[in-house]
Amino acid sequence: MMPDSNLHPRWNFERKPTVKKNCANSLRFIITLTLVLFFGLLQPSGAQSPEHLQSFKISPLEKGEFFLLSKKPAMALKIFQDLWHREPQNSYAVRGIIRSHQALRKLPEAVSLLNGYREEHSQSSSASYGLGFAFYLQGRFEESKKVLNEALSFDRENALALNTLAAVLVELKEYAEALTRVKEAIKIAPNELMFYRNLQMIYAKSGKAGQFEIEYRRLLAEGSLVQAKSYGLVLAQQLRQKSFMLYVDGEIDETIKTLLDMLKLYREINHESGVVVGLFSLAVLYEERGKPDLALKYYREVLKINPQHIQAREKLRSLNPKRD
């Protein structure tokens, strides 16, 4: 099990092509929509300069994540290091530093850096968390457990340390304790989706794969919509990933069915941006299947929610120029 969303196993897109070129183009477009949903705004392409990126109203953490996704870990590392220098207790900055070193294949350097920092700042929870995270990535689970507990002794509210400790405990097959730790992390940071992904993984590893969805349905029925939304987002994102895989394999009808299930989840949790992405993706796929009436239906639904959706408006005009 991996301790954050960026390290979970992902669908492998490097498979033997089974769809036509126009389908692949549409898939790339759907993936672009996914990135838009992830960041909550339209990002510049990887070819844009860092100066151009500065004009967007995003945080240093988001900028660092952008560069990691753009496969520019050196740029990401600088951003995360600068942030940690300004905010020494920011464990998310340290997480970014570790992930950047991992992408650069320089994890041992990160370990040396954090050990040196801890010599001068012996009670730094963020540095202890980072060292524990690095040990985890290196498979040094007992050492990771020890250092993460130290991080928590300095700051019981370090949710990232609790989450990574849960991941370590799973590797040590201490499932009950792992479940306790990740739920503590969720209590501290109820909107952090990586914690819910790890909760789901713990249930799966401990032979209770359906428990996560059971809890989602219970929360929904109880009207606990804030927490239910986080559960629902994780389930919907998995359906989105499944739809990508099905699409790559040329299973268009199954892709549509999966996207419909995803759309149902997004509607249950009232996640508007997810609903828009689901509707637009379905419209694109129905258009490919030669079903313009259904495509028009979903493009119109997109525009009901977001009248400024340029792509949907252009598609609507091209499919039905006389009426829209």
Whether residue 14 is predicted with pLDDT greater than 60 in this model: the reply is no
Range 267-280 average pLDDT: 95
Tokens read off for 71: 């496969």
Whether residue 126 is predicted with pLDDT greater than 80 in this model: the reply is yes
Tokens read off for 302: 């997109």
152: how many CB neighbours lie within 10 A of its CB?
A: 20
Range 233-260 average pLDDT: 94
Q: Does domain 7-41+212-324 have CATH number 1.10.730.10?
A: no
Reported as a pLDDT band with limits 50, 70 and 90, residue 205 is: very high
Whether residue 49 is predicted with pLDDT greater than 70 in this model: the reply is no
The number of angstroms, rounded, from the C-alpha of 38 to the middle of its chain's C-alpha atoms is 7
- d(CA 230, CA 242) in angstroms, rounded, equals 19
Per residue in 54-111, pLDDT tens? 555 789 999 999 999 999 999 999 999 999 999 999 999 999 999 999 999 999 999 9
Q: Where are the domains of the chain?
A: 7-41+212-324
What is the enclosing helix (H) or strand (E) of 176?
A: helix 175-188
299-318 as b/e, with b when 16 or more CB fall inside 10 Å? bebbbeebeebeebbebbee
Give pLDDT, residue 309: 93
- d(CA 142, CA 198) in angstroms, rounded, equals 19
State what percent of residues in the chain have pLDDT above 70: 81
Give pLDDT, residue 226: 87
Give pLDDT, residue 322: 58
Residue 128 and residue 119 in contact, taking contact as beta carbons nearer than 8 Å:
no
Q: Which residue has the higher pLDDT, 289 or 128?
A: 128
Give pLDDT, residue 57: 74
Per residue in 135-148, pLDDT tens? 999 999 999 999 99
Name, in order, each residue with C-beta under 8 angstroms of 190's C-beta and a sequence gap of 6 or more. 226, 227, 230
- d(CA 303, CA 242) in angstroms, rounded, equals 26
Tokens read off for 85: 């220098």
Residue 36 and residue 44 in contact, taking contact as beta carbons nearer than 8 Å:
no
Give pLDDT, residue 26: 52
Write the CA distances from 49 to 44, 45, 99, 130, 188, integer angstroms: 9, 9, 22, 29, 36
Whether residue 281 is predicted with pLDDT greater than 90 in this model: the reply is yes
Tokens read off for 282: 């379905």
Range 230-234 average pLDDT: 97
**Closest listed residue to residue 92, CA positions, set 38, 155, 160:** 160
**Closest listed residue to residue 52, CA positions, set 66, 39, 36, 31:** 66
